[in-house]
Amino acid sequence: MDELLADFIAETREMLEQSSTELVAWEADPADKERIDTIFRFVHTVKGNCGFFDFPQLEKLSHAAEDALAECRAGRREPDTALVTAVLAIIDRIGEMTDAIEAGEEITGDDTPLISALSRDNEIEIQSDISVKQPADENSEETSPSRGQRQAVQRSIRLPVDLLDEVMKGVSDMVLARNDLARRLREAGEQPTIDGPFERLSAILADVRTSITRMRMQRLEHLFSSLPRLVRDLSNELGKQVMVDFEGGEVELDREMIEMVRDPLTHIIRNAIDHGIEKPATRLKNGKREIGFLRFAARQSGNQISLLVTDDGGGINVDRLCEKAVAAGIYTQSDIRKMSDEQKQQLIFEPGLSTADEVSSVSGRGVGMDVVRANLERVGGSIEVSSKQGDGTSFHLQLPLTLSIIAALTVSSGGQHYAIPRSYIEEIVFGSSNNVEFAQAGERRLVTFRGRRVPCLSLAEVLGVEDESGCDWQSKTLVLVRLASDDVFALAVDRVHDHEDVVVKPIAPAIMATKLYAGTTLLDDGSPMMLIDLPSIAQMRGIMGELRSKPSVIEAAEEKREEAAVPLMLFTGLDGRRRGVRLEMVRRIDTVSADAFDIEGDRAQAVIDGRIFPLAGHEYGPLPEDRCRLLRLSDGESEVVYAVSEVLDAAGMTSELVPADKDDAIEGVTLVGNKPVPLIDGHTIFARHAVIAPKNGPLLCRLPEDSDWSRTILEPLVRAAGYEIAHSADAEADLAIHLSESADAPESDARTTIRLRPDPEDAGDGSIYRYDREGLLAALKRVRTGRAA
């Protein structure tokens, strides 16, 4: 009897979901007899089962709904909004009764008003506010199967979810055992009698694992089926009209993921109907159709599900959103001015922010979209918003296909192994790299990499196995993490091991409460390994929203500039003196080793990321023996690196700049913090050191063809002078170099021609001796600088 009752409860709930969708669609098209038949069969089945299980109150309720629907089927009654609303109320009541039956509770309450509402004499004034768009013509036999065909399902059995989880756990353990055996076989060497059967076992196990995983999947139509009713009820409450459309209901998703995404979608729908879609009169006034449109589209791409929710409402009022953000103290007016339109739209995800003027039962409390993003991040998903004023808003959700198997990066810290979801990882760098720089700002450890300054956390310190004060940052490996909120930080670990797919298992609530771990998995040898909860760690450490992808000290100085007329960067030169440079010239800060410099005579250069830059600032003192910091300066056309001993801080020049007449390397002296600071002259630096680059890209030079000397001797010299080699015969070259013993140069389509002669004696024809290096370089420079000018 217990098994039969469990089947009754499960079957009733399935039919509840289907019938709600059918009822809402039937309301849009009351003439659809097939939908009435489907709803009728549901209440008829419930009534029959109730008689078997002796649930008289439930039987009476379903019998009343059956009678009303039977009149519609027989044509004796025209279905209307009042009848649909009454039947929906009864279905909701059936759901409540089903929950009570499952919990072993007694069914109580008076259902007389619900039954009375079914009477044709009972008038209920409710506006019909929703229709469901069908993907094809229901009357077309070629494009749409009959209702009976749609009801056909595959043969199936019901299994407890816990049993599926146990089977999945067993298969996961078998995979780990298989991996351990594979490692032992590799260590033992080739064994033909064992290797073949082992490979077959591996293939079979992979197929079984895939099948078990699919058993946990559900079609998105199970999620979509409950949404039309939600839309209908909200539309009625707000006096709006909405049409909904679903696409991609056949896409499958892990059953746990479907439940995780249900609440976020509910938030989005409520916001779309309340804030987005206008009232019918307003839509008509704005030249739109009276009925609003809400569309859901799902696609699968690899192990990701893409879900797009779009409305054709008024869009996000960005100006209003910015005003609310400033009023709430989340951002300043200066912050808002620096934001792009896309960044302003993302303010909708800030906690406590709402564009609603009044708090209603639907929304307006500023609680919702921040929770949506947090919940999606927690399961490795993301959400993005795009909106156009007057045209509508779209939310793009990216979801992992399953919560049980994720791609992870295995790391170790404090002698223990941990897993990090690979979807968060942007880059991996070594703390000892020359282009990585650590700094301390108050209690926050910062790291600068590729011109971007981000917070840095030690995983061992976060987990409490190491004191941050004793951390050797240079020996760590940095995992750059980008969360779905676009917050970036670096996680320092002892070592990065490998990428692999891991089976995630739930952990005890007490461990989850620490907000350090999101689950557990096993290594190949069966050892347990915790899955790190990166979003929660970032939130606990105050990283969310802090220094969001800010590039190094340069933009940090922009944040400090409030009333300053001219932003400056202060530094200590190689002679130990404090100086400053206009911040607008500083492109980034680099740190290089001593072997990156090439200084000989008047020539001074530095190599950074495979590029050679002219070097300045070295004339003030000796370069450090180990590492040196360089300011990369730019005038918009060329770059020069300036050697400094230390980068101090960013400041603003608010006082007068006193010219320095006797030193052309100094633009003037100003006061910063009541102390004089010489300001280096950018014009002089670039006049002395810059190599002017062509505005329209590198110049093309055509060399003599079929010449070994040209390829081995001439081409490297020309490339070193800043030219690219023109290889194509039809390419229009800026310069052509010819090897010629006569005064008559061959025909050329190049703008300029240089002739090289084999004789060192001057021929008086303007040619250059082929081994006159200085003369050839000077000619190449004249062509290049003439083009740039």
CATH of the domain at 292: 3.30.565.10
Provide the pLDDT for residue 2: 64
Residues 313 and 378 in one domain: yes
**Coil, helix or strand for 764?**
coil
In this structure, is residue 141 part of a structural domain?
A: no
Provide the pLDDT for residue 642: 93
The closest alpha carbon to 86, from 62, 71, 65, belongs to 65
Distance CA 746, CA 742 (A): 10
Contact 586, 571 (CB under 8 A): no
**Coil, helix or strand for 389?**
coil
Residues 705 and 733 in one domain: yes
| Domain range enclosing 106 | 2-126
Q: What is the CATH number of the domain that holds 737?
A: 3.40.50.2300
Query: What phi and psi, each to the nearest 5 degrees, are found at residue 205?
Result: -65, -40
The closest alpha carbon to 570, from 676, 716, 456, 482, belongs to 676
User: 540, 566, 597: which is the final residue of a domain?
Assistant: 540
**Coil, helix or strand for 679?**
strand
Can you count the helices (H) and strands (E) in the chain? 24, 36
Provide the pLDDT for residue 524: 63
Run means of pLDDT, 10 residues per run, the chain, 789 residues? 69 74 74 78 75 75 83 79 82 84 80 80 40 39 38 55 77 77 77 80 82 78 80 86 85 79 85 88 89 87 78 88 84 84 83 58 54 76 85 87 72 88 82 79 77 84 79 85 78 84 72 82 74 84 55 39 62 90 83 84 81 87 86 83 84 78 83 85 83 62 84 86 74 80 56 85 83 85 63
- Is the Cα dihedral 711, 713, 714, 719 positive or negative? positive
Residues 253 and 295 in one domain: yes
Tell me how many degrees the CA angle 429-435-437 measures, rounded to the nearest 5. 90
H/E stretch holding 702: strand 699-702
Provide the pLDDT for residue 432: 79
Beta bridge partners of 141: none
Q: How many structural domains does the chain have?
A: 6
Q: What is the pTM of this model?
A: 0.46
In this structure, is residue 149 part of a structural domain?
A: no
Query: What phi and psi, each to the nearest 5 degrees, are found at residue 350?
Result: -75, 140
DSSP conformation letters of 587-612: EEEEEEEGGGEEEETTEEEEEETTEE
Sorted by sequence, the CB contacts under 8 Å of residue 655 that are 6+ apart come out as 670, 671
Q: Which position has the token pair 């939130």?
A: 539
Residues 561 and 669 in one domain: yes
First to last CA, the chain: 94
In this structure, is residue 545 part of a structural domain?
A: no
Residues 204 and 313 in one domain: no
The closest alpha carbon to 634, from 667, 587, 590, belongs to 587
Q: Which position has the token pair 């059995």?
A: 157
Distance CA 532, CA 378 (A): 11
Provide the pLDDT for residue 365: 37
Sorted by sequence, the CB contacts under 8 Å of residue 434 that are 6+ apart come out as 591, 592, 593, 596, 627
Tell me how many degrees the CA angle 262-267-273 measures, rounded to the nearest 5. 120
In this structure, is residue 152 part of a structural domain?
A: no
The closest alpha carbon to 361, from 233, 227, 232, belongs to 233
Residues 19 and 94 in one domain: yes
Provide the pLDDT for residue 643: 92
